Structure formats: structure tokens, C-alpha cells
Chains A and B, each alone.
Chain A
Amino acid sequence: MAEKVLMKGNEALAEAAIQCGCKHYFGYPITPQTEVAAYMSKRLPKEGGVFLQAESEIAAVNMVLGATSAGVRAMTSSSSPGISLKSEDVSYIGGSDLPALIINVQRGGPGLGGIQPSQSDYWQATKALGHGDFQLFVLAPSTIQEMVDFVSLAYEVGEKYRVPAMILSDGMLGQMMEPVEFPQKKDEPVADKPWATNGHKNQRKKNIINSLYIQPEELEDLIKERYQRYEKIKEEEQRAEEFMTEDADVVVVAFGASSRVSRSAVMQARAEGIKAGLIRPITLWPFPDKTIEKNVDHTKQFLCVEMNMGQMVDDVRLVVSGRKPVSFFGRTGGVIPTPAEVLAEIKKLAGKEN
């Protein structure tokens, strides 16, 4: 067993990336993710890596595109407004079938919004981070340990399917401290990347990293092939945690920071004799519809708790398809819901308001 260390979420994530072999970090300052860049700037030069503060979020993600094309593990991190800027080139990364790791430590929006924790980029991360038909593999940590563990998962899945991956964190997880354990370093061979543009050495045909296809039929074929990979990801990479759902009458669905609050509320509800449970989506794309589906028959209703005006609730409703009521409770703008507020919602739904 490795030793546990007390670390801030942003720094733990950065250390995990270095331990996963990410030696190329490109970023731009923005609150509340700045510790990722600061940590990388301190550590990477000593690891023989590259820390580069780019002139813009757009340049940073393009540097990631370049480094990833070369076949190395690279990463960029930002927070909501910065992620919007990066969206152009995340689309190019998706359209070029490149793996890459993008971290979003979410803050309130829209516009400059605020700097407090938020989950209001759920739609952006899972539906439309950039133009065109493409998806990101999106992971939502809820503990600092998961901020660590999901980095290797994001790289592995991203490289296996050649898709960009995002860790959708938030200002709370980024800033808080918890004891974490870093997994023992694995001496696995670096994943084979025969597609990398690292110089053909006159020993193979040239490689081209490209997202331009002028013939519509050719572009359609490529997108369809990519969607076959997405189907496989949906089949094999869905992840969710269930907590006391077996006999639950009210199943709360919450991810990331709001799932921590919801878990406390569920435990309090149980203490008060209400059969509540929690589904915590870990992968936001692919959305864990199998876990939701499993609970549709036996539960009476679902309650989505999010730090936004109701985004993931759409995906829950898609799975439930009107078979059971799905309600929503959220706080937004950087406000974190309290366990008492969530408990009150659970009680209201369970018909036990008093």
C-alpha cells in the first residue's frame, strides 16, 4: 500500500498526470484551475518534461493537439470560459481521431460568470464542446482520490478508442483537500501509436493527422466509423456508483460535488425512515443509462440534483421515458446545495414533508 498524502484536488490531479507519463502540459491561467498549471510548472521541468504557458486557451489546446500528434501524452486544463475558447480545437482533436486529456474545473457561467463551483458545463461537455458530430469521453470525479484515479482511466480509454477525454471537475473538488493515494507505477509498455506524426524515418508510409474531407461520402463514412467506436464505448465504458438503491423509493441522481451533498441527504433520509438511494454517474458520456434503467421498475421516482438549472436531468428523462416521474433540484451561479435542502426535496417527493 502506498502512503496517503493530503493534497488539494487540482494538485493531486496534476501529480497523477505526471505519474501517468504526461510530460507535456500547455495551459493558460484561469481561476479556479490555476493550481494545475502552477504545480506542473514546478514539477515538469524536474521530470524532464515541458511546461508551457501559452498565449491563449486556443493556443494551449492546439499545442496539445501537436504534442498528441507526435504520440506523447499531453494535457491542458482550464475552467469554464477557457473551455469555451478551446472548443474549436477540441473539435479538431475529435475530428482527427486523436486522444488528448482536457480538464475542466468548472465555475459559474454564462459569460465570465463567477469563480465559485458549478456544474453548468454538463451540456457543453457531453453534447456540444465544439462543432460537428463527435463526442468526448467524460469522467466526473467526486473525491480527490477520483481526481487521481480518473487521469489514467481517461488516458487509457482515450488512447484505446482514439477519442479526446475530459475530466469534468469543479471549483469545489479543485480547491478542497483530502488524503489521496497514488497507484503504484505500472511498467506497462507505452501504447502503440502507429498513427503518430513523428517522422517516418523512411521506414513507413507518411502519416497524416487531418480532419478535412471534401467529399461528403468520405466524411460520412469516417464519421460513421467513429460512431461505431462510440457505440463500443457506450457498451463497455459506462460507469456509475449505486448507493442504497436496491429498495429505494426515491432515487437521487447526482454527479461530482452535488453527489457528495446528495449522499449526505440520502443517509439522513434513511435515518428518518425514507427509502432513498443515490445513483452517481461517473462517466457523463457515455451516460450510464444501464444503471438508470436497472432502477426504473422498482423505484417510485427519480430526483436529479445538480449545480445548474437542470442539464443532466434531460439524460435521465431520456432513459426513464415517462415511466416514472423525474424531478429536479438545483442551485446555480456558484451556490452549492446543502444536504438539508436536498433532504427537504426528498421528503417532499416521498410525501413526508413534515
Chain B
Amino acid sequence: MAVVFEKPKALSDVPFHYCPGCTHGIVHRLVAEVLDELGVEGNTVGVASVGCSVFAYNYFNCDMVQAAHGRAPAVATGLKRALPDNVIFTYQGDGDLAAIGMAETVHAATRGENITVIFINNAIYGMTGGQMAPTSLPGQVTQTSPYGRDVKVAGYPIRVCELLSTLSGTALAQRVTVDSVAHVREAKKAIKKGFENQINKRGYSIIEVVSTCPTNWGLSPKEAVQWLRDNMLPYYPLGVYKDVTAEGGEN
């Protein structure tokens, strides 16, 4: 009988600790499928960050390093400079990448550090129980913005792909989501491109995945997907913000 779907080999056979309706599981699978398709699992080192995906080192079958909060791009830089022919990726959330680790992120990108960054943007700190993130939307209620994010006090959410697209070292900055089959396919294509860029030594690739956090948004999984469509996507439009391969040039 033909196998139409199976668990990717680069994904461990252990249950995820993620909440129902959280999109980490889908994104993990997409990354693992890409590692399988490119045949690079044995040559890959992943860097887990701090946040809900901190245990990513238990889920991917490649070698893994667990980095301090926000420091994954610097750890990945050290790995990549020591192992230029290996595939190095980071898997980071919005608090990790866009708040405490923004310096490491911007500088890894501007150096054209030849790594692949998977960025999960769910507009909230999940692991610590739902605090305001650098990507929380204006008016969004969180544990630390109980009256809604007041931009006069807390400022505005950061659009990471737009920001990084201005840097010469960025090879790919693309925002995707996984709320539908079509979008999941698109996300996988983007992730694959991010890894191919690295193999072809094109520089820094970031794939931002607009994601859900039903638990901390206080919504059911189904409601969370709808909230993502109604609120996240208008502020964080999907699309390619920079792609050196489309520009016809190599970084």
C-alpha cells in the first residue's frame, strides 16, 4: 500500500508537550520534512531558544544546542563559523527573537550569517503564562497588559520581516502562516527555501510563522485560528519581504 503520509524521520517519536491548537507542532513537522527532503539531518545542528519551544532539542533528531534567552543567533553564529559546511538553524519565539534577542537577531542578519531562522510569532509570551510580547497587537489583553496594549505606554508591535528586509545581509525574509492547508504548503516551501539558501551560502534567511496561542489568548483552538486571521494577519501581512533569489542576485 502506498504511504501517503508519515512522520518525518528528522522528528523524534515522542509526544509534543504543546497545547491543543498550538501551531508549534505543525511547524516542527515542516522543518523536519525539509531536513528529510534535503537529506541533511545528519549534517544539521539546531539551536533551541527559550520559550515554549525550549524543548525542541527533544523533538528534532539532529544534534541540538539549547541557547539562553535571545542568544540563539549568536550560538548559531559560533556553530556555523566552526562548522561552515554544516546546516545550522535556530527556532525562536517572538519574545526571544524580537525583545531580548533583537541585537543578536539584527546583527546576525546584517552579517549575512549563513543560517536559517524559524521565527514563531504568536504575539505573546507562552512559556511564562501569557505576558505582552514585542509583537502583541495594539489593544491586546495579556497578563502584563490587562487593560489592552496601550501604545502610548508600551509602544507598537514590531514587524520583524519588514525590519530585517532592509539589511543587506538578509537573503530571505518571508512571513507565512499555517492556518489552512494552502498556507501550510506555502510555509513549507518558504522553510525549504530558507534551508536551500544556507546550503547555497546565500546568507541569513528568516521565515516568520504567524502562529496561535489558544491557551494564553483564552480561546478554543478553532477560535484562535479565526482570531489569527482577523487580527494578526492584517497587522502582519503574509508575503515575501526580501528574497535574493527572486531579485536574481546572490548575496
Q: A56-B103, A66-B82, A201-B43 are in contact. Are A88 and B68 (CB under 8 A)?
A: yes
Instruction: Decide yes or no whether A115 CB sits under 8 A from chain B.
Output: no
Contact between A24 and B43, CB atoms less than 8 A apart: no
Interface residues contributed by chain A, number (CB under 8 Å)? 40
In the complex with contacts A66-B79, A70-B79, A72-B82, A58-B42 CB distance below 8 A: no
| Contact status A64-B78, CB under 8 Å | yes
Contact mask A45-67 → B, CB, 8 Å, 1/0?
A: 00000101011101110111111
- Measured CA separation A24–B41 after assembly (Å): 25
Contact B78 A58 (CB under 8 A): no
- Is A200 in contact with chain B by the CB < 8 A criterion? yes
Contact for B74 among A63, A199, A208, CB less than 8 A: A63
For A89, the chain B residues whose CB sits under 8 A away are 68, 71
Give residues 91-108 of A contacting B (CB, 8 Å).
92, 96
Contact B65 A209 (CB under 8 A): yes
**Which of B54-62, B91-99, B154-162, B221-229 is the interface stretch?**
B54-62
**A201 CB contacts on chain B under 8 angstroms:** 42-43
Q: Does A228 contact B (CB under 8 A)?
A: no
A291 at the interface (CB under 8 A from B): no
Residues of B within 8 A of A211 (CB): 66
- How distant is the Cα of A212 from the Cα of B65 in the complex, in angstroms? 11
Set of chain B residues within 8 Å of A72, measured between Cβ atoms:
82
Taking CB atoms, residues of chain A closer than 8 Å to B29 are: none
Known: A89-B71, A197-B45, A197-B65. A67 touches B104 (CB 8 A): no
Q: Which of A67, A71, A72, A203 has the most CB of B within 10 A?
A: A67
A130 to B12: give the CA distance in the assembly, Å.
Answer: 33
Partner of A199 from the list B44, B81, B104 (CB cut-off 8 Å) is B44
CA distance A70 to B75 in the complex (A): 10
Q: Assess the A68–B61 pair: CB atoms within 8 A.
A: no
Min Cβ gap B77→A in Å is 5
A74 interface residue per 8 A CB criterion: yes
Q: Within 8 Å of chain B (Cβ to Cβ): is A69?
A: yes
> Does B168 sit at the interface, judged by CB under 8 A?
no
Asked if B66 and A212 make an inter-chain contact with CB atoms under 8 angstroms apart, the answer reads: yes
In the complex, given contacts A197-B45, A198-B83, what are 9 additional A-B residue pairs having Cβ atoms less than 8 angstroms apart? Answer: A24-B78, A58-B71, A58-B74, A59-B74, A63-B74, A66-B76, A70-B86, A88-B68, A197-B64
Q: Could you pull out 7 A-B pairs where Cβ atoms are within 8 angstroms?
A: A54-B107, A63-B75, A67-B81, A198-B45, A198-B63, A198-B86, A201-B42
Give A residues with C-beta under 8 Å from B: 24, 26, 50, 52, 54-56, 58-60, 62-72, 74, 88-89, 92, 96, 197-203, 206-212
